[in-house]
Amino acid sequence: MKSAIFEKAGLMTVEEVAKPTLQADDDVIIKVVRACVCGSDLWSYANGDEKAAHSENSGHEALGVIHNGGRVGFVGVPHYNNRPLGSTFAQNITVGGGSASVTTYDKQLLLKAVLDGDINPGRVFTNTYRLDDINQAYKDMQDRKAIKSMIVMD
């Protein structure tokens, strides 16, 4: 199967890797069908911060289909057999803040693109790429040619 690999700052590649296998009774394998490049992913792409060279990408926004059994819970919520979801969920809420990368765009250029109809401000994803073009997706976001890039798996 294909996987996005962080080679070094400014370079993502795609490689064939071994398919995952179930290791425990509560494991699940998810076939990712869509993913996206998040603005927070650009820190590593631009600077290599906290990323080991030639490591799998740590993308955190994906849509997938469950395969090979297992069970699925709620994203970001630990799994307990004897604990109500409400008490678990409330303990795992985190609020973070900071400026969104879109605020660093040239505002006049962005406004013109919206007014000229080049960008639909109601759309989250402004560009779509195949997995094989993952580096271009990162580069276009870094160069502010895309607000958010969707990655489509073949």
pLDDT digits (tens, 9 = 90+) for 115-126: 787 877 666 788
Q: What pLDDT does residue 95 have?
A: 47
Question: Would you state the structure tokens that stand for residue 139, as one six-digit string?
Answer: 């580069």
CA pair distance 55, 34, nearest whole angstrom: 20
Q: Which residues, at least 6 apart from 80, have a Cβ–Cβ distance to it below 8 Å?
A: 88
Rounded to two decimals, the pTM is: 0.62
Highest mean pLDDT among 41-45, 70-74, 100-104, 134-138: 134-138
Strand 55-56 with 149-152, pairing: unpaired
From the list 3, 8, 4, the residue with the least C-alpha distance to 19 is 3
* Helix, strand, or coil (residue 61): coil
Confidence of residue 133 (pLDDT cuts 50, 70, 90): very high
* Helix, strand, or coil (residue 73): coil
Q: What pLDDT does residue 140 have?
A: 93
Distance, first Cα to last Cα, the chain: 10
